[in-house]
Chain A
Amino acid sequence: DTEVTQTPKHLVMGMTNKKSLKCEQHMGHRAMYWYKQKAKKPPELMFVYSYEKLSINESVPSRFSPECPNSSLLNLHLHALQPEDSALYLCASSLPGPGLIGELFFGEGSRLTVL
């Protein structure tokens, strides 16, 4: 199994809604990532979990709340979002832990639209 699975693929929500994006991998990877990508822009790093601990938080607004319940799962909880938060949210994982770099395996992304 070399897949990173993201659900839902598409999400439309109002500014007062609470929703969650989910990501799952069963490759034994110990680093998991959330990236945000807007049209014609590079993926922007939001959060990184390494061994289920939050290791990088790129000054993301608190309306985005990550959670890593175990080594296979990564969630992104969304609350009181703004229309400018509409984007493709990409989850990725990589094999090594701290101090090592490896290729990222990406999911297909969750396309979020905030009305």
Chain B
Amino acid sequence: DQQVKQNSPSLSVQEGRISILNCDYTNSMFDYFLWYKKYPAEGPTFLISISSIKDKNEDGRFTVFLNKSAKHLSLHIVPSQPGDSAVYFCAASAQAPDMRFGAGTRLTVKP
């Protein structure tokens, strides 16, 4: 039973445009959400997080939006850069230290 779902396996955008990566979850007990970025041959690295008491968190070019009623979160990257090309994982936690991951979305940013 996959509690965190990323339904788009891949996304391609032009450099300078906005990238929007989506994530849905089924467990209403999740109260902390994170995005990780993974380059080939490396482990995932933390990008940005959001607590369930917020609906938006921004860090430079990256913004995460949380819609609790829809059990949906999204990561916006603007402007997108070629160096952003990677696999992005959504993760969620209901109780520390348990953390569950989505299957990932491969983002390709074209110059």
Contact = CB atoms under 8 A, between A and B. Distances in A.
Interface string B21-51: 0000000000010101000011111100100
- Size band of the interface chain B makes with A: 20 to 34
B97 interface: yes
A99 B43 contact: no
B103 A40 contact: yes
B96 A99 contact: yes
A94 B97 contact: yes
Nearest to B49: A103
A39 to B, nearest CB: 11
Interface residues of A, number: 31
A48 interface: yes
Contacts of A40: 9, 103-104
Contact of B103 (A41, A55, A103, A106): A41
Given A42-B2, A42-B103, A43-B89, A31 B97 contact: yes
A101 B103 contact: no
Contacts of A55: 97
Contacts of A48: 97-98
A35 B32 CA distance: 19
Contacts of B98: 45, 48, 56
B100 interface: yes
A42 B44 contact: no
B51 to A, nearest CB: 9
Given A42-B4, A42-B89, A101 B99 contact: yes
Given A6-B43, A42-B89, A101-B32, 20 more contacts: A33-B99, A35-B101, A41-B103, A42-B104, A43-B44, A43-B89, A48-B98, A56-B97, A90-B43, A90-B44, A96-B96, A98-B96, A98-B97, A101-B93, A104-B34, A104-B36, A104-B44, A104-B46, A105-B46, A108-B43
17 contacts: A31-B96, A35-B101, A42-B101, A42-B103, A42-B104, A43-B44, A43-B101, A48-B98, A55-B97, A90-B43, A98-B96, A98-B97, A100-B96, A101-B97, A104-B44, A108-B42, A108-B43
